[in-house]
Amino acid sequence: MDNDVLEWTVFPVKEEKKKTLWLLPLLGFLIVLVYLSFGNVFWVVFAMVLLVGSLSGFFTKTIYRFDSEGVDIKRTFHAVHKKWEYFRNFYVDENGIFLSPFKKPSRLENFRGIFVKFGDNREEVISFVREKIKEVRDGGNKGV
């Protein structure tokens, strides 16, 4: 594998079985509650579309790819590509790494940044991002 390419897939519904076992009955309960409240199949379908749509990141595979050019994120219904020059900072938590376009914390980060979930490669991802963000900060000079 090339040192300048890191690719992995995250599929939470399959990987996080405890959450899935709690989530599916909860969704079923909410759908029944909507039906009992409104008594109309249209609202049940509408509620299902909203609930499943809002949780699409949990129910679908996400493919992450880091290379020398940037970050690619592919999901079932959309894809994102950002060049490394776009990012200025990053924050690590237990589930993933948040890539921010701002040097300092900003209220706009949640709207402009990207959260990347770890697979079983936490340290590789952190190391890769640290190197690429450092290159951006140094103006692309690897030797400095």
**What range does the domain containing 83 cover?**
64-137
**pLDDT confidence of residue 1:** 44
Distance (Å, whole) CA 86 – CA 83: 6
In this structure, the answer to whether residues 76 and 104 fall within a common structural domain is yes
Write down which residue in 57, 76, 94 finishes a domain: 57
Q: Decide if 142 is inside a domain.
A: no
**pLDDT confidence of residue 140:** 56
In this structure, the answer to whether residues 51 and 74 fall within a common structural domain is no
Residue 24 pLDDT > 50: yes
In this structure, the answer to whether residues 128 and 80 fall within a common structural domain is yes
**pLDDT confidence of residue 77:** 84
Question: How far is CA 112 from each of CA 45, 97, 102, 108, rounded to the nearest angstrom?
Answer: 32, 14, 9, 6
In this structure, the answer to whether residues 101 and 50 fall within a common structural domain is no
Overall average pLDDT of the 78-94 stretch: 94
Q: What is the dihedral of CA 139, 85, 112, 124, to 10 degrees?
A: -100
Overall average pLDDT of the 90-112 stretch: 93
Q: Decide if 16 is inside a domain.
A: yes
